[in-house]
């Protein structure tokens, strides 16, 4: 069984500039790569779980989002970091869907699909909805202010 870290995307792994889809807006925190490499060394696999209501709001389309994610993953890969999946809720909040964080549906599906060890897994994000999503999924939850705090995870996740 693998232990996993489920990361929020915006303001956690990459710098948020609101409803991002343009490659030129893709920016990482200074210690994103070194922190994740150390967590990988400690035996964790990684997922991204993101609310992307920009789709539901029609601010960008799925093609543009996939393109953005491909560029993001390529940059992570260049630094020897992989994510097993980048999963997202595409809905508008008013759709009242069952997959938007803090709903745990996406996390639970990934846990099932990849046979993840819940007891030793974490959700990491900057919002209360991230924190609650982790708790709702029955895993450990850590709330950070933003991605500049990522190195502090190394004290909290052994």
Q: Does 99 bind Zn ion (CB under 5 A)?
A: yes
Provide the CB-side half-sphere exposure for 44 (13 A, CA). Answer: 26
98 counts as catalytic: no
Classify 61 as helix, strand or coil: coil
Indicate the length of the chain as a whole number: 158
Nearest C-alpha neighbor of 52 from the set 43, 62, 41: 62
- Name the binder of 91 from Zn ion, Mg ion, none, CB < 5-8 A by kind: Zn ion
User: Are the CB atoms for 105 and 98 separated by under 8 Å?
Assistant: yes
Which one is catalytic: 2, 8, 95, 98? 8
Marked catalytic residue, from 2, 10, 80, 117: 10
CB of 107 closer than 8 Å to CB of 121: no
Stretch that binds Mg ion, among 3-11, 36-44, 79-87, 115-123 (CB under 5 A): 3-11
Nearer to Mg ion, 121 or 123 (CB): 123
Task: Count CA within 13 A, CB hemisphere, residue 110.
Answer: 30
**86 vs 99, which CB is nearer to Zn ion?**
99
Instruction: Determine the interface stretch with Mg ion among 2-10, 77-85, 107-115, 131-139 (rule: CB under 5 A).
Output: 2-10
Closest CB 65 distance from Zn ion, rounded Å: 14
Upstream peptide bond of 22 is cis (omega within 30 degrees of 0): no
State the nearest-atom distance from the C-beta of 142 to Zn ion, in Å. Answer: 23
Site residues (vs Mg ion, CB under 5 A): 8, 10-11, 126
Catalytic sites, residue numbers = 8, 10
């Amino acid at each position: 069984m693998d232990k996993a870290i489920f990361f929020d995307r915006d303001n956690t792994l990459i710098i948020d500039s609101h409803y991002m889809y343009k490659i030129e807006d893709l920016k990482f925190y200074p210690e994103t790569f070194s922190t994740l490499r150390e967590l990988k060394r400690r035996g964790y696999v990684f997922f991204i779980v993101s609310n992307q209501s920009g789709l539901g709001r029609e601010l960008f389309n799925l093609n543009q989002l996939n393109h953005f994610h491909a560029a993001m993953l390529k940059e992570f890969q260049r630094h020897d970091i992989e994510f097993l999946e980048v999963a997202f809720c595409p809905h508008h909040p008013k759709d009242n869907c069952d997959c938007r964080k803090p709903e745990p549906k996406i996390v639970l599906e990934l846990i099932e699909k990849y046979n993840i060890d819940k007891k030793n897994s974490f959700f990491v994000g900057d919002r209360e909805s991230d924190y609650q999503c982790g708790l709702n999924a029955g895993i450990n939850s850590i709330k950070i202010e933003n991605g500049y705090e990522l190195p502090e995870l190394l004290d909290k996740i052994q």
